[in-house]
């Protein structure tokens, strides 16, 4: 029999319903693989006790025939989701010891559906980063390896991606503010979807940039993404930006038929200096969709170039406001203060000790662009550019395009410590293909479609119309089937 | 636009993050790298364009003005680094 931890959500669900194994069996298989994978540094908080209880309860439900799709399936949860009574610190020293007294809406929905939480997953601090190197737990490591170097699983959902790719869990939750689900998915040969802004509730998800943040599933297959997204999505009165819209049966929308779909290829994504292998991956992906009956058309998104600079105004601005709450008063770390220190000293020392370097930098950049005299020049201008970026997409979709195909990342996974710490902008460029969607609020899914010349996974991204995740996943499924990506990292950990 | 050490010191203070004097030059340099990158936005013609306030065409919902929560003092204080007699405790604020 296959190791149970290597199953997809769909296969595990079907096996549970047939009685081939129990949720407790699945959960133990995953906990065993987690215990043997310390070198990956993917799981950072152990919630195995809760997992075993949830598995037992799920087995009772399955036996009684009352089991939603996610019932009994063991997953990992990114450390950014508030989980009641369990450590939740967004990989930051400033939230040391924090155990929320409440459950995020998304984990509540998953738990109500019977899902089992194995543990909390590594990430970049407050979801700021593209390599998982900005973490108080140290970096998560990519299970893919081609020489003696440790590679990054990407970020910020690096722990989630590493855990799914290494079969430590069947799937994981992630969040995506500028590419934090899709880039790690591409770096690890897994699937990740960022839904339309407003599809999943942000309540109980530790905020980075609220107008861009959106949670989504990270899975082994497109079908699994459809199954898990359905369980995560839906309107929530506690998040005023969540959309009051019925959640369709996403899995049922995977028909395998994409005949007549119009797929746009945006010329502005063909950057100067794009590597030949990424260009080929992209062309191959377009050819696969064409062979499956889609029509390929050239499209233009003229403001693409300005997406990253606009993001690096808007996201830090929102972060500077969101992260003002960490002041050493209500939760987490408080600095020891000296004789005669006042409350401002306490705030300043606490925040200097508690936040890592990149988080401090983004808070301060945000403070600067919002400060008197610069608000119009930076913040308001960036919001106007954002309007233009969204309009670019609206015009393409209005012309009848169903989805847009582009690379997910400019390269395969890089080594830990290889991207310059001195120039923050170098790391930011990782998000050049992903960040536009967050600014426009659109859904996007990364699908593994090939290996680099050195043998590392590469992903393509499909960008969909707002609220059309079902259609998008159907197209992604077709691409996945045509690409036939089945490679797995060989176990070295 | 270039950030000097005085500006870096002022921004750190506004952000309530303690930065030691000897770390300010490097911080100013990092700001300049990021702001240099952001500067590209000045090339875009934004004449007559509205700044985005909501990415989805949705009015924020208003809830009924009623009490829905409360009586959770112990839960609220549970994670506090210093809580005394039902309050958050902080260093002296007023002389």
B46 CA: distance to closest CA in chain A (Å): 6
pLDDT at site A422? 66
Q: What angle do CA A462, A243, A107 make, to 5 degrees?
A: 80
The stretch A327-337 carries a mean pLDDT of 96
Contact B46 A385 (CB under 8 A): yes
Residue A426 CA to residue A42 CA, distance in Å, equals 25
Alpha helices in B2-92 (DSSP H): 5-14, 24-38, 73-77
Residue A88 CA to residue A102 CA, distance in Å, equals 11
Nearest alpha-carbon partner for A229 in A482, A490, A464: A464
Report how far apart the first and last C-alpha atoms of chain B are (Å, whole number).
40
Nearest alpha-carbon partner for A435 in A409, A414, A415: A409
Contact B46 A320 (CB under 8 A): no
Q: pLDDT of A384-426, one tens digit each?
A: 999 999 999 999 999 999 999 999 999 999 999 998 776 778 8
Count of domains forming chain B: 1
Going by pLDDT thresholds of 50, 70 and 90, the confidence category of residue B62 is confident
Count of domains forming chain A: 1
Residue A360 has pLDDT above 60, yes or no: yes
pLDDT at site A421? 72
Residue A335 CA to residue A325 CA, distance in Å, equals 15
pLDDT at site B95? 66
Residue A78 CA to residue A121 CA, distance in Å, equals 4
pLDDT at site A111? 98
Residue B22 covered by a domain: yes
Residue A300 has pLDDT above 60, yes or no: yes
Strands A403-407 and A457-464: antiparallel
The residue range of the domain holding B20 is 5-43
Considering only CB atoms, A385 lies closest to which of B39, B44, B90, namely B44
Describe the crossing of helices A222-232 and A9-18 by its angle, rounded to 10 degrees.
80
Q: pLDDT of A213-245, one tens digit each?
A: 999 999 999 999 999 999 999 999 999 999 999
The stretch A363-382 carries a mean pLDDT of 94
The stretch B43-55 carries a mean pLDDT of 95
Neighbours of A122 (CB within 10 A): 32
Going by pLDDT thresholds of 50, 70 and 90, the confidence category of residue A1 is low
Residue B1 has pLDDT above 60, yes or no: no
pLDDT at site B92? 83
B59 reaches A (C-beta below 8 A): no
Q: pLDDT of A76-103, one tens digit each?
A: 999 999 999 999 999 999 999 999 999 9
Cα dist from A319 to A185, A200, A353, A480, B21, whole Å: 24, 20, 18, 35, 25
DSSP string covering A112-172, please? HTTPEEEEEE--SGGG--SSS-S-TT-----S--SSSSPBP--SSSHHHHHHHHTTSSSEE
Question: Which of A210, A334, A365, A437 is the best residue to mutate to test the B interface, defined by the most B CB atoms within 10 Å of its own CB?
Answer: A365
pLDDT at site A436? 98
Nearest alpha-carbon partner for A405 in A248, A203, A217, A264: A264
ipTM metric:
0.95
Residue B79 covered by a domain: no
The residue range of the domain holding A408 is 1-493
- Token duo for residue A350: 């606490």
The stretch A311-317 carries a mean pLDDT of 97
The secondary structure of chain B in percent helix, strand, coil, rounded to multiples of 5, reads 40, 5, 55
pLDDT at site A130? 95
Mean pLDDT of chain A: 96
What CATH number is given to the structural domain containing A227?
A: 3.90.1300.10
The stretch A259-280 carries a mean pLDDT of 94
Residue B20 covered by a domain: yes
A190 CA: distance to closest CA in chain B (Å): 28
Residue B11 covered by a domain: yes
């Amino acid at each position: 029999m296959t190791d149970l931890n290597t199953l997809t959500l769909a296969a595990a669900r079907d096996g549970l319903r047939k009685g081939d194994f129990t949720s407790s069996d699945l959960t133990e298989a995953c906990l065993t693989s987690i215990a043997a994978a310390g070198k990956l540094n993917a799981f950072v908080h152990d919630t195995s006790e809760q997992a075993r209880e949830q598995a037992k309860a799920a087995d009772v439900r399955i036996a009684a025939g009352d089991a939603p799709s996610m019932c009994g399936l063991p997953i990992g949860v990114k450390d950014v989701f508030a989980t009641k009574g369990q450590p939740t610190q967004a990989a930051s020293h400033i939230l040391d010891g924090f155990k929320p007294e409440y459950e995020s809406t998304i984990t509540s929905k998953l738990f109500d559906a019977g899902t089992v939480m194995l543990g909390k997953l590594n990430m970049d601090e407050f979801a700021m980063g593209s390599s998982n190197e900005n973490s108080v737990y140290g970096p998560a490591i990519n299970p893919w390896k081609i020489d003696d170097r440790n590679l990054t699983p990407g970020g910020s959902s690096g722990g989630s991606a590493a855990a799914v790719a290494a079969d430590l869990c069947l799937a994981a939750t992630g969040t995506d503010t500028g590419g934090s689900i899709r880039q790690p998915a591409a770096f690890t040969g897994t699937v990740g979807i960022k839904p339309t802004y407003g599809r999943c509730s942000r309540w109980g998800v530790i905020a980075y940039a609220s107008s861009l943040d959106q949670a989504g599933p990270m899975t082994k297959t497109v079908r699994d993404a459809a199954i898990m997204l359905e369980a995560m999505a839906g309107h929530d009165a506690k998040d005023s930006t969540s959309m009051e819209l019925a959640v369709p049966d996403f899995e049922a929308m995977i028909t395998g038929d994409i005949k007549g779909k119009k797929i746009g290829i945006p010329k502005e994504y063909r950057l100067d200096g794009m590597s030949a292998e990424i260009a080929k991956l992209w062309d191959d992906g377009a050819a696969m969709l064409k062979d499956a009956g889609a029509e390929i058309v050239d499209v233009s998104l003229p403001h693409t170039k300005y997406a990253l600079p606009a993001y690096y105004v808007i996201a830090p601005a929102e972060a500077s406001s969101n992260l003002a709450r960490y002041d050493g008063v209500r939760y987490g770390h408080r600095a020891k203060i000296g004789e005669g220190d006042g409350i401002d000293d306490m705030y300043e020392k606490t925040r200097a000790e508690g936040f890592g370097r990149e988080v401090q930098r983004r808070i301060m950049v945000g403070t600067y662009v919002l400060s008197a005299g610069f608000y119009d020049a930076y913040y308001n201008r960036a919001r106007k550019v954002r309007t233009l970026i969204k309009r670019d997409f609206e015009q393409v979709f209005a012309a009848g395009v169903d989805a847009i195909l582009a690379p997910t990342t400019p390269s395969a996974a890089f080594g830990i410590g290889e991207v310059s710490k001195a120039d923050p902008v170098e790391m930011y460029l990782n998000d050049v293909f992903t960040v536009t969607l967050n600014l426009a609020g659109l859904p996007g899914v990364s699908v593994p479609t090939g290996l680099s010349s050195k043998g590392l996974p590469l992903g393509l991204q499909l960008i969909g119309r707002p609220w059309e995740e079902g259609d998008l996943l159907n197209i992604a499924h077709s691409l996945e089937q045509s690409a036939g990506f089945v490679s797995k990292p060989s176990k070295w950990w | 636009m270039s950030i000097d050490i005085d500006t870096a010191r002022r921004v750190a203070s506004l952000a309530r993050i303690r930065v030691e004097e000897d770390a300010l030059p490097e911080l100013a340099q990092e700001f300049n790298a990021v702001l240099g990158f952001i500067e590209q936005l000045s090339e875009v013609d934004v004449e007559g364009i509205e700044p985005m306030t909501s990415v989805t065409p949705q009015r924020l919902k208003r809830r009924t003005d009623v009490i829905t929560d409360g009586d959770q003092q112990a839960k609220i204080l549970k994670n506090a680094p210093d809580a005394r007699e039902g309050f958050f405790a902080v260093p002296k604020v007023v002389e």
